[in-house]
Amino acid sequence: MPADRRPEYFKGSQLRVGVIGCGYVGLPLGLRFAEAGHRVTGFDTDPVKVEKLNRGQTYIQHIPQSKIQQFVQSKHFGATTDFSKLAEMDAILICVPTPLDQRREPDLSYVEQTAQSIRPHLQRGQLIVLESTTYPGTTEELLLPILEQTGMKCPIAHGPENEQIGTDFFLAFSPEREDPGNKQFGLAQIPKVVGGVNPPSGRAAVSLYAQVVARVVPVSSTRAAEMTKLLENIFRCVNIAMVNELKMLSLRMGIDIWEVIDAAATKPFGFMPFYPGPGLGGHCIPVDPFYLSWKAREYDFSTRFIELAGEVNTAMPYHVVDAIAAALNNHKKSLKGARILILGVAYKKDVDDLRESPTLKIMQLLQQRGAQLDYNDPYFPQLHKMRHYNYEHMKSVPLSPQVIGGYDAVIVATDHSAYDYSAIVDAAKLVVDTRNATRRVMRHRDKIVLC
Ligand SMILES: NC(=O)c1ccc[n+]([C@@H]2O[C@H](COP(=O)([O-])OP(=O)(O)OC[C@H]3O[C@@H](n4cnc5c(N)ncnc54)[C@H](O)[C@@H]3O)[C@@H](O)[C@H]2O)c1
């Protein structure tokens, strides 16, 4: 291993790239590097995932098994739980979870654990990049001090006067911006923002990523890169909250908000459509903004847009349950004792990811109010115990006109493309649609309640 790696070294071919955390972010990233001809090792604490990967199996629906098999066979990709192998890597990319804890504060324990597991194996000239979403300052304040306990230094320095500053290893932040399931923009097409702890670290990371993405966008610091990712997610969170609020007003005013959004979206500048729904879901948008709110307190600053958006979005599942109760009431039925079928537990259409899905909250609220629940989701044949919910005995019911017609109400919680909405409306007594998935259904519109 060359101890005198310079930033330009990472322009080279056949680098040894370690990816820590082989989940939704780490696995596709690792495979992309393998595709570019590098030798990739996935490090994960979960032995089941590691075993599956080494057998060429996938556990993420949109990542094809054939791709994993191809790179395992060609020895461009392998996985391990043995972190001592980190010492053999040229570059180490950290893709571990950054959730919120019980008090909705940043839980950086995974990042910290990862830094601790790199420390004994850190080599001079290695490039370490944090990809996990987090508040500005994490790379410099949490990761760097742990890595510097080795005695090796990576000085925090910015600006042209520090272009050639000496550094024992390279450290950078580059946020993952993937949109799982998005067929138009995959990893290789999404520009990669990169900020280094010092200019050589930034250049090293730019050199590495330029090999796997169409465009790299260097920024002046790790903090700027960390903040970039948060800006993107807060932008979405705030706009979704705004459109959710406008939806509730429009419903009261008898205006079709979806028609309004489509009309507004014809403006060729200054408008970007966001769509209302039953609440926020996914690993990012409901979580990441609160990383910034937490950090802002250190600066006596209150992030009011984030708090307000959080308030509106958190209220959406309650709004949906009230709308279901009102719709049943119109059918002379009470929510208590009603038989309800939920369509879609994934947090958004066509993905096998239910993290923070608002459907889970809607189900909990419906059960608390005495409804008898079943669900269908082609991506989840059964549910399991989660951090906040326990639906481990629930299995997806197969859909047929008879089954659908047996429920007092069918709730479209997630608008999977696989559903035949016309057939669902034909068979159902009542459909409560949280996504306007039934917009093209012509028959029996009187059975549909949008909410
Ligand atoms: N999922 C997305 O769409 C997305 C998009 C952009 C950014 N992100 C961010 O990327 C990061 C990772 O998210 P994800 O969705 O890939 O999470 P994930 O839960 O799918 O994957 C994380 C992986 O890390 C492993 N892991 C946990 N602790 C570990 C440790 N100490 N050492 C090694 N492996 C460990 C887990 O077993 C798991 O396989 C998060 O910060 C997230 O906010 C996610």
Ligand 1 pocket, 113 CB below 6 A?
yes
CA of 10 to the centre of ligand 1 (A): 24
Burial class (CB in 10 A: 0-12, 13-18, 19+), 150: middle
Residue 88 DSSP code: G
pTM metric for this prediction: 0.93
| CA–CA separation, 323 and 278 (whole Å) | 11
CA of 243 to the centre of ligand 1 (A): 29
| CA–CA separation, 69 and 388 (whole Å) | 35
CA distances for 79 relative to 35, 41, 111, 405, angstroms: 16, 5, 19, 48
Ligand 1 pocket, 26 CB below 6 A?
yes
Region of 36 please: left (phi>0), alpha (psi -120 to 50) or beta. alpha
Is 451 a known active-site residue? no
By alpha-carbon position, which residue is closest to atom 44 of ligand 1?
Answer: 25
Q: What is the pLDDT of residue 154?
A: 98
Q: What is the pLDDT of residue 236?
A: 95
Q: In the chain, count of helices (H) and strands (E)?
A: 14, 13
CA of 441 to the centre of ligand 1 (A): 39
In a structure prediction context, what are the per-residue pLDDT tens digits for the chain, which is 451 residues long?
455 689 999 999 999 999 999 999 999 999 999 999 999 999 999 999 999 999 999 998 889 999 999 999 999 999 999 999 999 999 999 999 999 998 889 999 999 999 999 999 999 999 999 999 999 999 999 999 999 999 999 999 999 999 999 999 999 999 999 887 788 888 899 999 999 999 999 999 999 999 999 999 999 999 999 999 999 999 999 999 999 999 999 999 999 999 999 999 999 999 999 999 999 988 889 899 999 999 999 999 999 999 999 999 999 999 999 999 999 999 999 999 999 999 999 999 999 999 899 999 999 999 999 999 999 999 999 999 887 898 988 999 999 999 999 999 999 999 999 999 999 999 999 999 999 999 999 999 999 999 9
Ligand 1 pocket, 283 CB below 6 A?
yes
Ligand 1 pocket, 132 CB below 6 A?
yes
Residue of 95, 154, 284, 451 marked active site: 284
Q: What is the pLDDT of residue 2?
A: 54
Q: What is the pLDDT of residue 1?
A: 47
